[in-house]
Amino acid sequence: MLTVEPTIIEKYVRPGKVKLVFRDVLNHGERSLRTSEAAACAGKQNQFWQMHAILFERQGDVYATSNDQLVERMQSWGKELRGLDQIAFAKCVTERATLKALQNSDAAQRARGIISQPIFEIGARRLAGLQSVEAMAAALDAAMK
Amino acid sequence: MPRLFFMLTASLAIALTACASATPAQIPATRAPTQTRAASASVPTPVALPTATPAVAALDNLAQSVTPEGHYALGRVDAPVTLIDYSDFM
């Protein structure tokens, strides 16, 4: 979603027309796991979308971070979130408190054919691959009719 | 009487002159900077507070919720359309 998400949020989510749900697809090994876990751990403190925004902005940094440095990197980004209980967040990330749920969800999605990303669902309609703002807007407008 | 007035005036002038000349001598020029250094050494270095990125700030005033399946949602819970984004952060 990356580039179109801010537009979709402002045009459809903020006015209350659309609810946006994020579901993790774990296709990139440890980096996928650690970033999804960081977002889920922030989510336990109602800051999933804030961490989501940071992670999407810094994909390049994640790629440049070695697997054994990922936890430390996630914790340092957690410190940018106002009001986040850093001790609880660090514990959640280091103890991998959300890992099992994420893996179970990914497995269930794969059974439904969600094996690549991004994939979007709007009702019964499924859109695979990156979408332009125009294509996403057209799909959402059609769903609202 | 004029003599008494003269003596009082002269005494007052001498006292004022003494005070004026004594003031600079009582405050060494090096004293103020010394105090400033001591004060700044005792003040802890300010720690930068978290600063929201524009993308994070853009989320202000948007409802966040969790679906019954445990996935994170943004926007009105009862919005007429639900957009599910299957993705990862890579």
Whether the CB of B72 is below 8 Å from some CB of chain A: the reply is yes
Taking the C-alpha atoms of residue A48 and residue A56, their distance in angstroms, rounded to an integer, is 12
Cα dihedral sign, A131-B61-B63-A45: positive
CA distances from A112 to A1, A105, A108, B68 (A): 20, 11, 7, 18
**Which is higher by pLDDT, B55 or A58?**
A58
**B4: alpha, beta or left? (left if phi > 0; alpha if psi -120 to 50):** alpha
Tens of pLDDT, residue by residue over B29-75, are 334 444 444 444 556 666 555 666 888 888 989 999 999 999 999 99
Residues in chain A: 145
Predicted TM-score (pTM) of this structure:
0.77
What ipTM goes with this model? 0.95
Of B51, B59, B75, the CB nearest to A18: B75
Q: Are the CB atoms for A12 and A140 separated by under 8 Å?
A: yes
Minimal C-alpha gap between B41 and chain A (Å): 27
Locate the domains of chain A by residue range: 1-23+114-145, 27-96
Mean pLDDT of A35-62: 96
Closest chain A residue by Cα to residue B81: A18
Give me the mean pLDDT over the A128-144 stretch.
96
Three-state DSSP at B73 gives strand
Task: Flag whether residue B81 sits within 8 Å of chain A, measured between CB atoms.
Answer: yes
Domain ranges of chain B: 2-40
A76 touching B (Cβ < 8 Å): no
* Residue indicated by tokens 């090994």: A29
Closest CB to A32: pick one of B58, B70, B90: B90
Residue A49 to residue B64, Cβ atoms within 8 A: yes
Contacts of A123 in chain B (CB under 8 A): 81-82
- What is the C-alpha to C-alpha distance for residues A71 and A73, in angstroms, rounded to an integer? 5
Q: What is the model's pLDDT at position B47? A: 57
Is residue A43 within 8 A of residue A51, CB to CB? The reply is yes
> B60 CB near a chain A CB, below 8 Å?
no
The upper half-sphere exposure of residue A18, i.e. CA atoms within 13 Å in the direction of its Cβ, equals 26
B73 contacts A23 by C-beta, under 8 angstroms? no
Q: What's the pLDDT tens digit per position in B29-40?
A: 334 444 444 444
For A65-105, what is each residue's pLDDT tens digit? 999 999 999 999 999 999 999 999 999 999 999 999 999 99
